[in-house]
Amino acid sequence: MTYQPDDRRYERQPYNRSGRSGLRLPAVSLGLWHNFGDDRPVANSRAILRRAFDLGVTHFDLANNYGVPYGSAERTFGRIFREDFARHRDELVISTKAGYDMWPGPYGEWGSRKYLLASLDQSLERMGLEYVDVFYSHRFDPDTPLEETMGALDRAVRSGKALYAGISNYTPEQTAQAARIMRELGTPLLIHQPSYSMINRWIEKGLLDTLEEAGMGCIVYSPLAQGLLTDRYLDGVPADSRAATSRFLSSDAIDAELARDLDEVARGRGQTLAQMALLWTLRDPRVTSVLIGASSVRQLEDNVACVDGPAFTEDELASIDKITSRRAA
């Protein structure tokens, strides 16, 4: 059946300007890291993407090595894009990244011009796109001159293969230097993608100030701390949970007491813990968008509904700070 998106999709959530650019992103964006590889049913991936767009999620975020195996998330997205979203291309913001390991040998990771531009070409081929809206340097490379890495991003934009350039996982100092280089090249950085959550607050220690000064937006990932800030672990570690089965999260990291205390605050607000955690990251206007992952349509709908929650009171924010202070980064 031909996909027909919901006519009311742009009424479902706010759209925030990314820094001092002309681009507005949905408050909630969809990341395709875990649930769009060859190890997941295409039908489920399609259902999630369709429902996301129906809910006003116009930004889909990928990277070259997302999915199992590497590259499979981009291939899955490319297939669904061709069949369902091609005629809506100008309504979508599609991003990808390069920086982590992708292929064997000395040219398959980090920040060299050779790697970044080759990776972008491969990503475009996998997705069947002429360009991406945002191309990121996924991590700072300590062994490559930053001028080379930023020069590759500038080249990607000037070649028409990307509309905007971004960085991810850079420190405030690295971000300031990268922003200066890109301004001099004439291709200002659009956005930074850092990790951020109630229990991982490192961006509050300088990065948000740096982004504001540079005129860059901020889109945060891992806002639920790999599931720690959901109702998944209120009573311990289920056998089928990510903490029990994934290398990205250890069961030793689970703090059920903290989750229960936060859940009590969330219930008082009429939200799930996940919804409260997501909306909390958006309380600072310098945060443009929050990236969610979703393994089901139901989970997607629950998370996107965070934008319907009430504004935080000073007492609620103080309670959250008190609860999380015992493990906040």
pLDDT at 303: 98
Residue 217, strand partner residues: 191
pLDDT at 256: 86
Separation between Cα atoms, residue 289 and residue 133, nearest integer Å? 15
Q: Tell me the whole-structure pTM to 2 decimals.
A: 0.94
Contact, 199 vs 290, CB < 8 A?
Answer: no
Please list the alpha-helical segments (H only) found in 160-287. Answer: 172-185, 207-214, 242-245, 256-268, 273-281
pLDDT at 234: 81
Cα 72 from chain centroid (whole Å): 18
pLDDT at 255: 82
Residue that is written with structure tokens 């998330």 in the block: 73
pLDDT at 329: 44
Separation between Cα atoms, residue 249 and residue 329, nearest integer Å? 16
Cβ-Cβ contacts under 8 Å for 126 (sequence gap 6 or more): 71, 74, 75, 78
Structural element, H or E, at residue 323: helix 314-324
pLDDT at 240: 53
Reported residue count of the chain is 329
Averaged pLDDT, groups of 10, the chain, 329 residues long: 95 97 98 95 98 98 98 98 98 98 98 98 98 99 98 98 98 98 98 97 98 98 94 69 49 77 97 98 98 97 98 98 79
What's the start-to-end Cα distance of the chain, in Å?
A: 47
**Which is nearest to 274 in space by CA: 237, 235, 304?**
304
Cα 47 from chain centroid (whole Å): 19
Extended beta strands in the chain, E state: 15-17, 24-26, 28-31, 59-61, 93-98, 132-137, 162-168, 191-193, 217-220, 289-292
Give the phi and the psi of residue 221 in degrees, each rounded to 5. Answer: -115, 165
pLDDT at 252: 55
pLDDT at 243: 47
- Let me know the angle formed at the C-alpha of 235 by 37 and 195, rounded to the nearest 5 degrees: 45
